[in-house]
Amino acid sequence: MSVLILTHPSSHAHVTPPGHPERVARIETVDRVLAAADYADLPRAEAPAASDDQIGRAHDAAYVEMVKSSAPAQGWASLDPDTHMCPDSLEAARHAAGSNIAAVEAVVDGRHKAAFCAMRPCGHHAEKDRAMGFCLFNNIAIGALHALEALGVAKLAIVDFDVHHGNGTQDIFWSEPRVVFASSHQMPLYPGSGASHETGVGNIFNAPLNPMSGGREMRVAYEGIVFPALREFDPDLVMISAGFDAHRDDPLANLNWGPEDFGWVTGEICKIAAECCEGRVVSTLEGGYDLDGLASALRAHLDALIAHVETLG
């Protein structure tokens, strides 16, 4: 039993316009990392497609229909200035959402202690009724709501260390006391939300980080804000929105995290999962646009997840 890796070929078919940072080369980089000897033996599963009903737990029905009807026959359709659909994007988005459903099922029923969804498009900017920031469906929210509504999980936590605030996940769980959402992110930066005073029903914990700050400041924020909130909430499942764009080389942000910082934060989140919920962790790929930075940060993340599972025995 180790870290389950969820993939699907459709992640490669979601082609964005030339020059777009959220590009096929990202998932090719992820694939190369996962093919390395250290990870070649990890168990794999093909991500299923999420149904309309499963997606509809997180999104308004009218929004789901809008996305479905927006897929172009050729070229691209733009849902916002950042977010584009090619003819195969809808299938990719369904499988990216479905990967989170399969991952929570595998972890909640005990087949695996941890899972990583190596999928795109990313999801954490997608709100209930709005595509934003490269995201069509909110993959982690769809997985979380499946855990709550279909698997009997009473409460869960989502930690988002993508460099951009997870406004979509915050929007979907703003009034949901069964979910704690904790996010670290550069501020000011896109999408502009994520201030400390945005607290939902006492279930939202935002830890904005100053531009140019690095691992030391990040540790202070997590140890002061995020980890105490997680421990007090005592979740039955921990999910991670794993964006790797806080890496110092990322072109879309100004934080200065190194691979060791991604490893540290992952390891600490896993320790809390071990304390609270027998180590159950589901992680999903969000951003990360410098390919070498993405690869090194992902390796640190995977190494921490694997070490966590090995510690659990």
| Cross-strand pairs, 284 | 117, 241
Contact 72, 87 (CB under 8 A): yes
- 3-state helix vs strand vs coil in the chain, percent to 5: 40, 15, 40
Look-up: residue for tokens 């890796």?
Answer: 5
Q: Is 79 in the site for other proteins (CB under 8 A)?
A: no
Distances (CA, A) of 71 to 15, 26, 40, 76: 12, 22, 35, 8
Shortest distance, position 62 Cβ to other proteins, whole Å: 22
Q: Is 15 in the site for other proteins (CB under 8 A)?
A: no
The active-site residue out of 125, 146, 164, 247 is 125
Q: C-alpha angle with apex 71: 124 to 174, nearest 5 degrees?
A: 25
* 17 vs 72, beta carbon nearer other proteins: 17
Residues 187-206 touching other proteins, rule: CB under 8 A, are 188-193
For 212-242, b/e burial (b = at least 16 CB within 10 A) is ebebebbeebbeebbbebbeebebbbbbbbb
At closest approach, how far in Å is the CB of 125 from other proteins? 8
Residue 214 contacts other proteins per CB under 8 A: no
Say which residue the tokens 């060791």 belong to. Answer: 260
Q: Does 226 bind other proteins (CB under 8 A)?
A: no
For the CB of residue 254, give the shortest distance to other proteins in the complex, in Å: 7
Which residue reads 């646009």 in tokens? 289
Please report whether residue 257 would count as binding other proteins according to CB under 8 A: no
Active site residue 146: no
Of 168 and 263, the one with the shorter C-beta distance to other proteins is: 168
Q: Pairing mode, if any, of strands 3-7 and 44-46?
A: parallel
Number of continuous H segments (helices) and E segments (strands) in the chain: 11, 10
Under rule CB under 8 A, which residues in 125-144 are in contact with other proteins? 125, 132-134
For residue 113, the 8-state DSSP code is S
Report in angstroms how near the CB of residue 39 gets to other proteins at its nearest.
29
Site string for other proteins, 157-186 (x = CB under 8 A): -------x--x-------------------
Q: Which is nearer to other proteins, 164 or 299 (CB)?
A: 164
Least Å distance, CB 179 to other proteins, is 22
Give, as ranges, the residues between 258 and 297 that touch other proteins (CB under 8 A): none
Q: Which is nearer to other proteins, 152 or 251 (CB)?
A: 251
Q: How far is the CB of 176 from other proteins (least distance, A)?
A: 22
Contact between 290 and 284 (Cβ < 8 Å): no
Residues at the site binding other proteins, with contacts judged by CB under 8 A: 20-21, 80-82, 125, 132-134, 164, 167, 188-193, 211, 251-254
Which positions are catalytic? 125
